[in-house]
Chain A
Amino acid sequence: MTTKGMITQVRSFRLAQRKGYWTILLLLSPALIAVLVFYLAPVILTVIMAFTDLDWRFDWNFIGLGNVERMLGDWLMPGILQVTVLYVIGTLATFNVTFAFILAVVLTSVGHRTGTFFRSLWLLPRFSPPIVYGLIWMWILCPTRLGLLNSVGEALGFARVDWIFHHPLAVIIITNGFIGASLGMLIFTAAIRSIPRELHWAAQVDGAGWLQDIRYVIIPQLRWPLMFITAFQTLSLLTSFEYILIITGGGPFFATTVWAMYAYNLAFGGYFAPFQFGYGSAMSLVLVVIGAAASLFYWRVFRFRTMMTEPGIEVV
């Protein structure tokens, strides 16, 4: 082949390659633009705003770590921190991991039809509009005689109770737990189904009963899913407050105001001096940092790295 021919070939190859890049860019750009404008830009904005005292006047005054100082001096923070910790750990320990696991075990032990019915039932709240799910709980817990618990209680001779007022923490843990349990249920169910049958057989030959089968076969086989759900749900719970906002509104007083909700209320809430965008962003940012720290902690403790395998991606 002549030099000239080679040069033209290289040139046409480069041309084709460049054309390929344009195709790639064309196909990627809608998603890239959307993510840049509505996801990446807000992330960067949040970080910048966290260092300002931005409020309803929309003045971008940079105040360094002023918001962190304010946070440390905020008389509401100790209470909010306590509620957040109790809410996250309480929901995780009761519903999102433990009960989800029990549900998965029970639903794989009963008949197929029963299993499918109850799986759908538990998923229904997850896909219902939050306001509808919230209304159902408002009715169940309603302090008047119209509420389910109170009307049944009255018929049985008990006095009426204002459930939200007297048991605020239990209310938010239960109402969120009924949503949270279904994710663990799905993941654990899939994991239980993929346990090789031989393991169960081996356990039975060794004389294991049903409970021993759970203890010595299922739980060890579900180590990773259990850890994954614990880590994943910690993050979800830290940053979710929709159902709390609907059902208790953060009250009575601040008894159910979790960290993420406090940050939200600082900016958009109706109570005391709203539109504190700067301080609210700082609260959000610190929460994300706490979440990242929690992930790192889980990563270390659970040794997630040993679970990671290279994703199989084909490349031309």
Chain B
Amino acid sequence: MTHTETRRTITFDAATVRRQQRQQRTRKLALHGLLLVTGLPIMVGYVWLLVNSFSDVLVFGLIPERLTLQNWAFLWEPPSPWLPCVWRSFANSMYLALGMVAAVVVTSTPAAYVLSRMKFPGRSAILGGTLILHAFPGITLLIALFFVLRFLGLLDSVVGVFLIRAALMMPFAIWIMKGFFDNIPWDVERAALVDGATRIQTWYKVMLPQVKQGIGAISVFAFLAGWAEYIFVITFIHGTDNWTLTSYVNALIGDWRFLDYGLLAAASLFYLFPVLLFFLFAQKYLLHMSVGGMKGGG
């Protein structure tokens, strides 16, 4: 960082400079050591997924003795007869994630525009209400949501889960999108209105193209949240036809833990793959915008 370099300019004699350089080098080494040691469990864990999925026996828990593709056989042949085809679970996971993206984008973008730009009675009540709702994290509402889904006939369905998750994410998405709309200068919109466009035309043709980045951000978050969803899937989806990859891996762990870590690693890596893709290509969003994402584990 800058302040460590600037310090050198205010010291004069050579001995001090050398001593300080040595100190800086030691500190740098110590800091890198600290980062490596603390990050080790994560690195080892994810490397293990990769290594173990392609090998049958591991020495010291991490070094493969022999490479094999056997662990990936679940892709064309269910490992036990009562498990569904993994591609069906994959399709359900996609359905959940994309359904959530659609639900979040379609509902929160127009709402955010209205809350950002229009004056109407109840506006501040709505904005305040979304904040108060945050006091009730989704996870404490599981029991009540069970009754809502039962009433709507949406128990044991992917649609039910993505509607719930989308609704829970909506206050966050609306606030993010509202921020993007707030940043567009008024004159742009006024110009369109003066030219005779209606509010809806203005929104569609002038405003939407300017908040593409915001839509991209909430889409990435909605997709990842839907793709990774655990507790609502496990609680509300039971039929193997409606299983997502979470249910699939969960069932595998119940069956094969202590026995076949190779299969578990391969299935988990398969499940993790889209997340890794996002990490490579959408890192910008993830590093800068994940602030405010409520997540289990704090």
Contacts and interface: CB of A to CB of B under 8 A. Distances in A.
A204 B298 contact: no
Nearest to A109: B1
Given A183-B295, A239-B137, A284-B140, A38 B111 contact: no
Interface string B259-271: 0010011001001
Nearest to B39: A121
Interface stretch (B64-72, B77-85, B141-149, B210-218): B141-149
A244 to B, nearest CB: 9
Interface stretch (A73-81, A163-171, A261-269, A299-307): A261-269
Interface string B156-181: 00000001101110110010000000
Contacts of A92: 298
Interface residues of B, number: 106
Interface in B256-282: 257-258, 261, 264-265, 268, 271-272, 275, 278-279
A85 interface: no
Contact of A127 (B136, B142, B246, B275): B275
Interface string A110-140: 1000101011111111111111100111111
A127 B298 contact: no
A315 B119 contact: yes
Interface string B208-246: 000000000000000010011011000100000000011
B2 A200 contact: yes
B298 A179 contact: yes
B117 interface: yes
A204 B10 contact: yes
Chain B interface main SS type: helix
Contacts of A314: 116-117, 182, 186
Given A24-B114, A131-B246, A118 B35 contact: yes
A243 interface: yes
Given A38-B164, A142-B258, A124 B42 contact: yes
B3 A316 contact: no
Interface residues of A, number: 113
B289 to A, nearest CB: 9
A129 B62 CA distance: 22
Contacts of B60: 151-152, 155
B15 interface: no
Interface in B276-296: 278-279, 283, 286-287, 290-291, 293-296
Contacts of B166: 34, 38
Contact of A21 (B1, B58, B120): B120
Contacts of B142: 264, 267-268, 284
B298 A38 contact: no
Chain A interface main SS type: helix
Nearest to A30: B107
Contacts of B268: 131-132, 135-136
Contacts of A110: 28, 31-32, 35
B164 A146 contact: no
Interface stretch (A5-13, A61-69, A288-296): A288-296
Contacts of A186: 287, 290-291
A82 interface: no
Contact of B296 (A114, A130, A210): A130
B41 A121 contact: no
A108 B3 CA distance: 11
Given A23-B199, A242-B296, A267-B142, A187 B111 contact: no
A127 B224 contact: yes
Contacts of A126: 290, 293, 295, 297
A45 B258 contact: no
B220 to A, nearest CB: 10
8 contacts: A27-B111, A35-B170, A45-B144, A127-B228, A131-B246, A241-B139, A263-B140, A268-B146
Given A127-B228, A183-B290, 14 more contacts: A20-B120, A26-B200, A27-B203, A32-B111, A37-B148, A39-B170, A43-B144, A119-B287, A123-B290, A129-B227, A135-B265, A136-B48, A151-B58, A287-B140
Interface of B: 1-4, 6-7, 10, 27-28, 31-32, 34-35, 38-39, 41-46, 48-49, 58-62, 103, 106-108, 110-111, 113-120, 126, 130, 133, 135-137, 139-148, 152, 163-164, 166-168, 170-171, 174, 182, 186, 198-200, 203, 224, 227-228, 230-231, 235, 245-246, 249-250, 253, 257-258, 261, 264-265, 268, 271-272, 275, 278-279, 283, 286-287, 290-291, 293-298
7 tightest Cβ-Cβ pairs between the two chains A and B: A180-B298, A38-B167, A179-B297, A200-B3, A42-B144, A31-B111, A136-B45
